[in-house]
């Protein structure tokens, strides 16, 4: 069976010179289906079974937990805004399919734009497709607000991949985390479209206007409702509208205005931990992210040193801010800060990107600690944007070569001094 398939596929091999783009596409598919038959030449005769595809796919696999919960939570938040099916498991099919239909275009746009650019550059440079975008493409939808306009998303992905990665030479050469670069593009280039509390809840034209009605399309009202009707399940109702007084504010923006009390007035502690709160698509459920973080650290794909450094840095800074206590947000105890916002998501999946992080072991501790430090500072003290990890990680990405340089210089000085 395998040989037959292989023969059939091999028959279709396009000519590399006359049609490089087709060949790149073919090569990408071929190496995806079959590990190539390359053998070692000079140097070692046997090689470790590990390659970049496998490394990357493990991150993507662990992100699937966040995808599952994120899909559900888009729907859950939508229904919380309406005030129907507010229980966690009530209307499960409605929430899940609503979220799925909202997430699917985001996922497709991010991948189509990113992969197209990746393929184009691979063909142009004449090398095989590199796996870098597998992870970036999986991360980008998870860090976007659910209500993001698709054209902004497409533009941000194109910016991140072209300016952030290909301009530097492709996978492994980039200075900044590609996924975060696309997020930061959205944040700085379209502050008006994407600001306010409304973006965290999807399905409404403008959440702030009273009695805004839901926007359902043909898919919801005809396709999904048809299916649900058939099975005798509850259906989407086009007459729903936003509950009075619902704002969709995230815990962080509440905390910024009124400290811990303002947060707990709206959200329970367990909701914040389990993730049934508004936020970026994949960042809300802390237990699932922690599972991913522990697993990635245990199998050695993400650096536990960066994670530990960042945790220590955030706790340390949290303690300092608690001591200072000048604003209501500063008085939020440090241990509550850990499950507010996207701290764990940044810790598990963003800071640990090996390409943009520090590459020496000592450097990783410093790098992680400083991300924790600056992230907390940006989150608590910055007046405009109450979340810091994106900016802190990009800042430290910029400085990670410097950290490495200092660590290496110490090693070099030790060696040269004794010569």
Q: How far apart are CA 391 and CA 378, in angstroms?
A: 8
Burial class for 135, CB neighbours closer than 10 Å (0-12, 13-18, 19+): buried
- Shortest reach from residue 22's CB to other proteins, in Å: 19
Does residue 294 belong to the site contacting other proteins (CB under 8 A)?
no
Classify residue 168 by its DSSP letter: G
Answer for which of 20, 354, 399, 406 binds other proteins (CB under 8 A) is 354
Q: Which residue number, 128 or 327, has a Cβ lying nearer to other proteins?
A: 128
Does residue 8 belong to the site contacting other proteins (CB under 8 A)?
no
DSSP string, 282-335: TTS-HHHHHHHHHHHHHTTSS-HHHHHHHHHHHHHHHHHHHHH--STGGGS-HH
Residue 71 neighbours by CB under 8 Å, 6+ apart: 96, 99, 100, 103
Residues 14-53 that bind other proteins (CB under 8 A): 31, 33-53
Answer for which of 104, 112, 173, 223 binds other proteins (CB under 8 A) is 173
Does residue 326 belong to the site contacting other proteins (CB under 8 A)?
no
Per the CB < 8 A criterion, the answer to whether 247 and 91 are in contact is: no
Does residue 327 belong to the site contacting other proteins (CB under 8 A)?
no
Q: How far apart are CA 390 and CA 350, in angstroms?
A: 8
Q: Which residue number, 7 or 265, has a Cβ lying nearer to other proteins?
A: 7
Does residue 132 belong to the site contacting other proteins (CB under 8 A)?
yes
Give 211-215 contacts, CB < 8 A, sequence gap 24+: 211/241, 211/242, 212/241, 212/242, 213/238, 213/239, 213/240, 213/241, 214/78, 214/82, 214/238, 214/240, 214/241
Taking CB under 8 A as the rule, which mask of x and - marks residues 232-271 in contact with other proteins?
A: ----------------------------------------
Number of chain positions touching other proteins (CB under 8 A): 65
Q: Which residue number, 214 or 306, has a Cβ lying nearer to other proteins?
A: 306
Does residue 408 belong to the site contacting other proteins (CB under 8 A)?
yes
**By the criterion CB under 8 A, which residues form the site for other proteins?**
2, 5-6, 31, 33-55, 57-58, 128, 130-132, 169-173, 298-301, 303, 319, 322-323, 333-334, 354-355, 357, 359-361, 364, 404, 408, 411-416, 418-419
């Amino acid at each position: 069976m395998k040989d037959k398939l292989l023969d059939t596929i091999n028959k279709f091999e396009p000519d590399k010179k006359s049609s490089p783009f087709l060949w790149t596409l073919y090569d990408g598919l071929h190496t995806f289906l079959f590990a190539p038959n390359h053998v070692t030449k000079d140097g070692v005769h046997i090689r470790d079974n590990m390659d970049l595809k496998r490394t990357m796919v493990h991150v993507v696999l662990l992100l699937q937990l966040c995808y599952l919960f994120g899909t559900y939570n888009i729907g859950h938040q939508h229904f919380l805004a309406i005030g129907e099916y507010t229980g966690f498991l009530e209307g499960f099919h409605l929430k899940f399919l609503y979220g799925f239909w909202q997430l699917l275009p985001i996922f497709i746009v991010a991948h189509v734009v990113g992969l197209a650019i990746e393929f184009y550059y691979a063909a142009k440079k004449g090398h095989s497709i590199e796996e870098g975008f597998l992870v970036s493409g999986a991360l980008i939808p998870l860090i976007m607000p659910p209500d993001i306009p698709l054209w902004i998303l497409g533009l941000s992905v194109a910016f991140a991949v072209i300016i952030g990665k290909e301009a530097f030479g492709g996978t492994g050469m980039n200075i900044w985390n590609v996924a975060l670069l696309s997020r930061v593009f959205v944040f700085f280039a379209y502050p008006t479209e994407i600001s306010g509390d409304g973006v965290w809840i999807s399905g409404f034209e403008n959440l702030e206007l009273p009695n805004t009605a839901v926007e359902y399309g043909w898919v919801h009202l005809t396709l999904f409702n048809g299916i649900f009707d058939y099975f005798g399940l509850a259906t989407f109702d086009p007459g729903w509208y936003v509950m009075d007084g619902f704002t969709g504010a995230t815990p962080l923006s509440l905390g910024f205005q009124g400290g811990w009390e303002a947060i707990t007035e709206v959200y329970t502690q367990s909701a914040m931990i389990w993730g049934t709160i508004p936020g970026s698509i994949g960042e809300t459920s802390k237990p699932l992210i922690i599972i991913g973080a522990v697993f990635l650290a245990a199998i050695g794909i993400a650096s536990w040193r960066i994670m530990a450094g960042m945790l220590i840095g955030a706790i340390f800074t949290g303690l300092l801010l608690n001591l200072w206590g000048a604003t209501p947000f500063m008085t939020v105890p440090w241990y509550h800060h850990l499950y507010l916002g996207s701290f764990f998501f940044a810790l598990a999946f963003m800071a640990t990107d090996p390409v943009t992080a520090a590459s020496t072991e000592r450097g990783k501790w410093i790098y992680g600690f400083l991300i924790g430090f600056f992230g907390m500072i940006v989150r608590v003290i910055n007046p405009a944007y109450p979340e810091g990890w994106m900016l802190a990680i990009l800042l430290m990405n910029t400085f990670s070569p410097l950290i490495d340089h200092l660590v290496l210089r110490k090693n070099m000085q030790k060696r040269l001094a004794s010569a």
